[in-house]
Amino acid sequence: MARLTNDNVELAREIMSLYPRPKSALISLLHLAQEQDGHLTDSAMAHIGELVGVSSAEVLGTASFYEMFKMEPVGRYMVNICTNISCQLVGGEELLAHAESTLGIRPGQTTPDGLFTLEDVECIAACTEAPCLQVNYRYEHRISNEGFDQLVNDLRTGNRSDIPDHGVLAQIRQHIPEDRRAGSVTPEDTAVPAWISAPEEAEK
């Protein structure tokens, strides 16, 4: 299974350079690995450990804490249906039940064609737009049973090119131009910031 590709290693180095300590980039790099492979492979995790300078066990310890990281392959589309309180009150659980029957799987399972993984998730911050769901973390607000079936159909027939494969989060990344960069501040940089010291000196 895959370590990070050379391009991704380069990107990983750029990401690490944004932080005072390389380990702070760990979660970002795990996202990068998941974007590459759709889930987190052992070798990608080990590779990330090498890059940020921690043991593989520490990488796994961090990765496994977070819901979004999958250690096993999942469907191309992760369908996350919210059943938390605001959605529950207006039909989230019924929507989930409908999704189960449409997709023929229970939460946590993947359709045999490898297209969909269904999850019963906690609040996704769209409470006023309930019931709601996410496909690969792209929102569908106030969705009805029919709307759901349409969505599944569109995904099956490739009509939702706006939704990338599982693992791809933001497709635009931050890039700090070298000439604009203030530079990472490490805990060892104990100098008083320029704009703070100047007025203080002026006062004196």
Partner 1 sequence: MITNAPKITTSRFDNADSHTLAGFEATGGYQALRKALSMGPAAVANEVKTATLLGRGGAGFPAGVKWGLAPENVWPRYLVVNGDESEPGTYKDRMLMERDPHQLIEGVLLASYAIGCGQAFLYVRGEMPLAQERIATALNDAYAAGYIGKNILGSDFSVDVVLTWGAGAYIVGEETALIESLEGNRGMPRLKPPYFPAAKGLYMQPTIVNNVETLSNLPWIVSNGGDAFAALGAETSRGTRMFAVSGHVKNPGVFEVEYGVTTFRDLIFAPQYGGGILGDRALKAFIPGGASAPWFFEEHLDLPLEKVTVDRAGSMLGSGAVVVMDDTTDAVKACLRLVRFFARESCGKCTPCREGTTWLENILQRIQDGYGRPSDLELLLDVADNISPGIAWPPKQTTICPLGPSAVSPIASAMQRFRPEFEARITQAEENRHMVPVTISKAASYG
Partner 2 sequence: MAEADLTQLDGVTVEINGVEVIAHKGELLIEAAERAGSYIPRFCYHDRMKPVGMCRMCLVEVDTGRGPALQPSCMIECTPGMKADTESDVTKKAQDGILEFLLANHPLDCPVCDKGGECPLQDQTMAYGPGESRFVEEKRHKEKPIPISDLVLLDRERCILCDRCTRFAKDVAGDPLIHFIHRGNNTEVNTFPDEPFASYFSGNTVQICPVGALTASTYRFKARPWDLETTESTCQTCSVGCRISIDSSRDQVQRFAGVDIDPVNWGWLCDKGRFSSEVVTSESRLSEPLVRDGSGFVAAKWSDALNRFAKALGSASSPQSIGVIGGARLTNEDAYAWSKLFKGVLATDNVDAQLGDGLPAHAVLGLPAATIDEVCAPGGTVLLLGPDVKEELPVLFLRLRHAAVEDRVSLVEISPRSTGISSLAKASVHPRPGETAEVVAAVLGSAPISREIAGIVADELEATRLVLASAIGPIKVVLGRASVAESASVIVAAASAILDARPDAVFLSALRRSNIRGALDMGLAPGLLPGRITIEEGREWYSEAWPALPTASGLDTEGILRAAADGKIDVLVLLGADPLTDFPDADLAERGLTGARTVLSVDTTLNASSKRADVVLAAAGFAEKAGTTTNIEGRVSTLSQRVTPPGTARPDWMLATELSSRLGTDLGFESFADVLAEISFVAPSHLALDQAIAEGVPDGVLLPLDVVVIIDEDDEDIVILDETVTVSEDGAEVEVTADVVFEETDGSEADQTNGLIELIVDDSDTAGSVPAFVEFIPVGTVVIPPVDSYAFRLVATRKLYDQGTLVQSAPSLAPLAVSASVSLNPWEFDRLGVAAGGRATIRTAKASVSVTVHSDIGVPRGVAAMIVNQADGRVSDLISADELVSEVRIETSS
Binding site for partner 2 (CB under 8 A): 42, 45-46, 54-61, 64-66
Question: With CB cut-offs between 5 and 8 Å by kind, which of partner 2, partner 1, none does residue 110 bind?
Answer: none
Window contacting partner 1 (CB under 8 A); options: 6-14, 63-71, 146-154: 63-71
Residue from 43, 56, 86, 102 that binds partner 1 (CB under 8 A)? 86
CA dihedral 67, 68, 71, 76 (to 10 degrees): 140
- Whether omega for the bond prior to residue 20 falls within 30 degrees of 0, making it cis, is no
For partner 1, the closer of residues 73 and 137 by Cβ is: 137
Mapping DSSP to helix (H, G, I), strand (E, B) and coil, where does residue 185 land?
coil
What would the x/- binding string for partner 1 be over residues 107 to 146, using CB under 8 A? Answer: xx-----------x-xxxxxxxxx---x--xxx-------
Within 10 angstroms of residue 91's Cβ, the number of other Cβ atoms is 18
CA distances from 56 to 34, 48, 59, 64, 105 (A): 16, 8, 5, 12, 33
Residue from 158, 193, 201, 204 that binds partner 1 (CB under 8 A)? 193
Task: Tell whether residue 185 is a contact of partner 1 (CB under 8 A).
Answer: yes
Window contacting partner 1 (CB under 8 A); options: 6-14, 144-152, 153-161, 171-179: 171-179
Both tokens of residue 76? 């191309």
CA dihedral 152, 36, 23, 49 (to 10 degrees): 120
